Amino acid sequence: MIERSGLNIAIELYQFIEAEALPGSNVSSEDFWKGFSQLILDMVPKNRALLRRRNQLQEEIDQWHEHNDW
């Protein structure tokens, strides 16, 4: 793992971004990782809420199946 802008990033992903994605993009490494970090920080609470809702729905589906013969 490598740390950039407060994120712990898998070496393979970091190497891909640095060697393949960023060259020729006119985006600096620093700007990319800062932006990506901010995106992650913005999306984590939304993702957690969606996962909670998904778990609730799955529980309801499981309960329905337990009470209905199919």
Q: What is the pLDDT of residues 46-70, one digit of tens each?
A: 999 999 999 999 999 999 999 997 6
For the beta carbon of residue 33, count every other beta carbon within 10 angstroms.
Answer: 21
Q: H/E/C letters for each residue in the chain?
A: CEEECCEEECHHHHHHHHHHHCCCCCCCHHHHHHHHHHHHHHHHHHHHHHHHHHHHHHHHHHHHHHHCCC
Provide the pLDDT for residue 70.
Answer: 66
Q: How many domains does the structure of the chain reveal?
A: 1
Instruction: Look up the pTM and report it.
Output: 0.71
- Reported as a single tens digit per residue, the pLDDT across 10-60 is 999 999 999 999 999 999 999 999 999 999 999 999 999 999 999 999 999
- Domain, as residue range, for 51: 2-67
Output the pLDDT for position 69: 79
Count of Cβ atoms closer than 10 Å to residue 2 Cβ = 13
